[in-house]
A = this chain, B = another copy of it.
Amino acid sequence: MDAYDRIVNILREKTRFIIVSHISPDGDAIGSTLALGEALTKLGKKVTLYNRDGVPSTLGFLSGSEKVVADIPPENFDCAVLVDCATPDRAGQAFERAAIAGPKVAIDHHRIDSASVDVACIDDTAASTGDVVLRILKRMGTAISRDIAMCIYCTLAVDTGFFRYSNTTEAVLKTASELVGLGADPWTVAKNLEESYPAERFHLLARSLATLTLAYGGKYAFMDVTQRMTAETGASIELSDEFAGIPRSIGSVVISALFREMQTGKIKVSLRSKEDIDVAAIAKKFGGGGHSHAAGCSINGTLAEAKEKIEAAVAGIIR
């Protein structure tokens, strides 16, 4: 019996589920939550969908998103399913107080050291957690509805950078094709994720791009978002969440960084890289983490101090 079978057995057996994903959820976290939620509901299960931070407005177009609660109801669950999140602490403190009289299971595609749950289905051959959910639903013989197809298509689009990154395999594109055949609509996903920005995002981008700086012969590029920029443009800091990728898209650049002054007084650093350069190693030095090509950390101090620290770490790699 493999991990898929173990998960399938639990999903079939249990009846009162809470499905939870990581804080600051992205399209893979929410899409996976909603797809699994709909499938279990159709099987007659009682299902609570929970995320500490709720659903980002860009993902509100996904069917069922209105059912995701940001407070755990005072109910008893006989199973918790963590999606795109292999350890309960990534789901936020409140989740650790939920009344769960049964197994905690995790569904994920990120390779991790250890999952602190009872049963884990971690498949790093999948491009997204939604892709793992799809494989589970197929194993269960669940019909893939149009809404489920849309949610899972969204997880693939988000985690492959709209079919750009190196995890865009023959199998991923075949799955995407099948999902479109089942009713997923690529333009609806793209329009909501990438064509529905508030204008303030671009006012903020103009200000941030004005700080774009290249170093080490153009191999390292970085830019800032300051509290003053967000105040003067009226943009929320979250609107700069994708800016870190912008300096990386310069041909000469192999490492890029975005430095953001947070209201907490800390500097949030988002690192991106190309080729074989591992920025997770840099982020770990400062208590952060992430993937090889996308990682982050928080640094106490001023913007100048954070830049100095990161630059010292970057210098060790690209010099």
Q: Interface on A for B, CB 8 Å cutoff?
A: 157, 161-166, 168-174, 176-178, 180-181, 185-187, 190-191, 194-199, 201-203, 205-206, 209-210, 212, 214, 218, 221, 246-252, 274
Contact = CB atoms under 8 A, between A and B. Distances in A.
Contact of A202 (B170, B196, B247): B247
Contact of A163 (B162, B195, B252): B162
B198 A250 contact: yes
Nearest to A245: B195
B195 A166 contact: no
B181 A170 contact: yes
Contacts of A252: 199
Nearest to A210: B206
Contacts of A202: 209, 212, 246-247, 250
**Chain A to chain B: the 3 pairs with minimum beta-carbon distance, closest first:** A173-B177, A206-B209, A164-B190
18 contacts: A157-B163, A161-B190, A162-B163, A164-B187, A164-B194, A168-B186, A169-B180, A170-B178, A170-B180, A173-B173, A173-B176, A195-B248, A197-B249, A199-B221, A202-B247, A206-B210, A206-B212, A209-B209
A4 to B, nearest CB: 23
B170 A177 contact: yes
A248 to B, nearest CB: 7
A169 B162 CA distance: 14
What is the copy number of this chain in the assembly? 2
A229 to B, nearest CB: 12
A311 B227 CA distance: 35
A176 B163 contact: yes
A249 to B, nearest CB: 5
Contacts of A196: 249-251
Nearest to A182: B170
Contacts of A209: 202-203, 205-206, 209
A173 B168 contact: no
Nearest to A172: B177
A170 B179 CA distance: 8
A180 B168 contact: yes
Contacts of A157: 163
A88 B244 CA distance: 44
Contacts of A170: 177-178, 180-181
A181 B170 CA distance: 5
B198 A249 contact: no
Q: Which residue, of A164, A171, A185, has the highest number of chain B Cβ atoms within 10 A?
A: A164
Contacts of A173: 173-174, 176-177, 180
A157 B174 CA distance: 15
A166 B187 contact: yes
B195 A249 contact: yes
Nearest to A275: B191
B212 A203 contact: yes
